[in-house]
C-alpha cells in the first residue's frame, strides 16, 4: 500500500520531484566544491537537455500532455 501511494505521488508530481532532485544534486556538488562555475554551467545545460528529452519521451508515452 505504501509503495503504491509513493509511486502514484511521484507520477502525479513528477515535475516537482525532478526539480527537487536536480536542485539537490547541483547544490550538493557545488557546495562540496566538486564543480566550478564553468562545470556548473555545463552540467546545467546537460541536465536541461536531459529534462527536455524526458519530457518528450513522457509525452510520447502518453503520461503527460
Which residue, among 54, 46, 60, 43, has the nearest Cα to 18 in the 3D structure?
54
Say if residue 55 is exposed, middle or buried (CB neighbours under 10 Å; 0-12, 13-18, 19+).
middle
Residue 35 confidence (pLDDT):
64
Q: Please give the share of the chain, as a percent, with pLDDT higher than 90.
A: 5
Please tell me which residue, 47 or 12, carries the higher pLDDT value: 47
Average pLDDT over residues 38-64: 85
The domain tally of the chain equals 1
To the question of pTM greater than 0.75 for the whole model, the response is no
pLDDT digits (tens, 9 = 90+) for 25-49: 888 877 777 667 777 788 889 989 9
Domain span holding position 15:
2-61
Distances (CA, A) of 64 to 24, 29, 51, 59: 24, 30, 14, 5
Alpha helices in the chain (DSSP H): 2-12, 14-31, 37-61
Inform me whether the pLDDT recorded for 65 exceeds 70.
no
Amino acid at each position: 500500500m505504501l509503495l503504491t501511494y509513493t509511486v502514484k505521488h511521484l507520477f502525479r508530481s513528477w515535475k516537482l520531484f525532478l526539480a527537487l532532485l536536480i536542485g539537490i544534486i547541483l547544490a550538493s556538488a557545488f557546495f562540496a566544491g566538486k564543480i566550478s562555475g564553468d562545470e556548473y554551467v555545463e552540467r546545467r545545460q546537460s541536465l536541461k537537455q536531459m529534462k527536455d528529452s524526458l519530457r518528450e519521451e513522457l509525452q510520447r508515452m502518453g503520461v503527460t500532455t
